[in-house]
Amino acid sequence: MSADMTPEPIGPIVSSAHLADGAAPALSEVEFGMILSGHAFERWMVRCMTAAGEPGLTATEITVLHSVTHRGKPKRLADVCLVLGIEDTHLVTYAVRKLEQKGLVSREKAGKERLIAITPAGERACRRYRELREKILVEGISELGLSADRMSEIARLLRLLSGHYDQAARTAASL
């Protein structure tokens, strides 16, 4: 508090003040929000999939499972990695192996390529996850009062930020 007993402003809510005192303190606020949101989202995915009857999966494995389920057609490993923005293909290979061991996906040959396909057990897990997501998460999110258009705009901005961070990562890797 100052001498006249008025509270001093708190300033931006960040995880690293030494980064927030540069040219873009608001960016540090966004980064902290992304850190918190990312961890919360991963916790949500793991807890929801556990409640859906598939305990022991990591957030990456759940994301891969949903990606393979998308549009109901088999996927190439490279395409799953590309869509999810995962550089380290070994992470996805390991996830697919674990999902296959649990009977949630299968691998099949299509000419020279190996494709990853969803199994009936994987479809059931994703369907149950969706049901829980609708009941637990979607109903609560709707209370925020964000329109579908506003949610789409937030998603678009997050994708744009992702592109900027990817470009900055490429630049940093070349230094």
pLDDT, position 142: 84
Q: What are phi and psi of 108, to 5 degrees?
A: -135, 155
The closest alpha carbon to 80, from 111, 117, 128, belongs to 117
| Cα–Cα separations (whole angstroms), residue 30 to 18, 60, 61, 166 | 15, 23, 26, 16
pLDDT tens digits, residue range 43-87? 999 999 999 999 999 999 999 999 999 999 999 999 999 999 999
Look-up of token digits 């999939």:
49
pLDDT tens digits, residue range 80-110? 999 999 999 999 999 999 999 999 999 999 8
Give the chain's domains with CATH numbers: 17-169 (1.10.10.10)
64, 92 Cβ separation under 8 angstroms? yes
pLDDT, position 20: 73
- CA torsion 63-161-151-60 (nearest 10°) is 10
Q: What is the pTM of this model?
A: 0.87
- Which tokens go with 102? 């649990």
pLDDT, position 3: 65
pLDDT tens digits, residue range 152-169? 999 999 999 999 999 999
